[in-house]
Amino acid sequence: MSDPKILGPWIRRFLLEHIVAERNLSINTQKSYRDTLTLLLPFACVQSSQQIDRMAVNDLSPKVVRQFLENIEHERSCSIATRNQRLAAIHSLARFIGMRSPEHISWCAEVRSIPFKKTTKPMVGYLEKPELDVLLEQPDRKTTQGIRDHALLLFLYNSGARADEAAKLTVGSLQMGTSPAVRILGKGNKLRICPLWPQTISALQPLTQGRNLSDAVFIGRGGRALTRFGIHRVVTTYASLAGESWVSLNRKNVSPHSIRHTTAVHLLRSGVDINTIRAWLGHVSMDTTQIYAEVDLEMKAKALASVNIESLSKPAKPNPPTPSLMLFLNSL
């Protein structure tokens, strides 16, 4: 690098070498970091009165970063979660530069000291079994598109797959034999295997017959694979139709991810242990999976019903002394 003070070469190395070749981050994470810098650099140019190709690392000062975060939160009306996501990308850039340029260690420490803003986590949304049944009934299975959409909804519920995971699903990932299952490539390039119900296999078979193993399972009218945005649109469209006959669905934000939450809650109610659910959904931490036990109202209601209210109002009887305790008391 000719001049380590200039920011441009650092940005290039960060985007094209570090996060791709060195860290092998997912495509979505790479795009998120790229989009953050696409917003940050023009803003920093205005604040520092510098041409973008002549900006120095120190021009991206902690003050400018804080102003940028305020801008995206208040002027662009982004959520706190989005603000924190942008700050995480800036922290990563600062750490990358600081580890390779000793003269910027102080700058790196100041930028990385900018804290994330606390936010209230929204409650996990999921569907009750009758609501899910109504949703699955919406596609018209007399049409080609209805067959595909029903198979998609059933697959999302069976596997708990994310929209992006379903979009990348290929014919070769499905095992249609005696032990039907699917191989899903999830976040962090983690591969997991989920069992499939016979009805899910029956719904998927018309979509896979005569197809190459590398072909996408869920394709659109033009023969191209559905994107995660297309899958999201399929789910929301049928959720809107289902809301006409089942009013409670109109009060819920139904999406592919809420179907994923539904899978976890229904597995938990069926007696599946929490560690199996973690592996089923591809969670890294058990803490992420534990939220489903906290939000399940049915399980909470059963726990409440199992408590004898009258016994709580009576004073507890003292336990009789154990024999060893009696011997000790008699020896005094």
Strand partners for 229: none
Give the helix/strand (H/E) hosting 163. helix 163-167
- Choice among 83, 148, 162, 192 that is catalytic: 162
Residues 152/324, Cβ–Cβ less than 8 Å: no
Residue 13 annotated as catalytic: no
- Choice among 150, 257, 261, 278 that is catalytic: 257
Q: Which residues of 68-106 are buried (b: 16+ CB within 10 A; e: fewer)?
A: bbebbbeeeebeeeebebbbebbbbbbebbbeebeebee
Residue 157 annotated as catalytic: no
DSSP states along 222-262: TSSBPPHHHHHHHHHHHHHHHTTT-GGGGGS---HHHHHHH
Residue 126 annotated as catalytic: no
Residues 166/155, Cβ–Cβ less than 8 Å: yes
Residue 162 annotated as catalytic: yes
- Choice among 34, 95, 187, 252 that is catalytic: 187
DSSP label at 194? E
Structure token pair of residue 272: 């599946």
- Choice among 33, 126, 238, 292 that is catalytic: 292
Structure token pair of residue 213: 């193993």
- Choice among 148, 168, 260, 261 that is catalytic: 260
Residue 18 annotated as catalytic: no
Q: Under DSSP, is residue 191 helix (H, G, I), strand (E, B) or coil? A: strand
Tracing tokens 């939000």 back to the chain, one arrives at 295
| Cα dihedral 270/273/279/284 (nearest 10) | 120
Please say whether the dihedral angle defined by the alpha carbons of residues 253, 258, 262 and 265, taken in this order, is positive or negative: negative
Active site residues: 162, 187, 257, 260, 283, 292
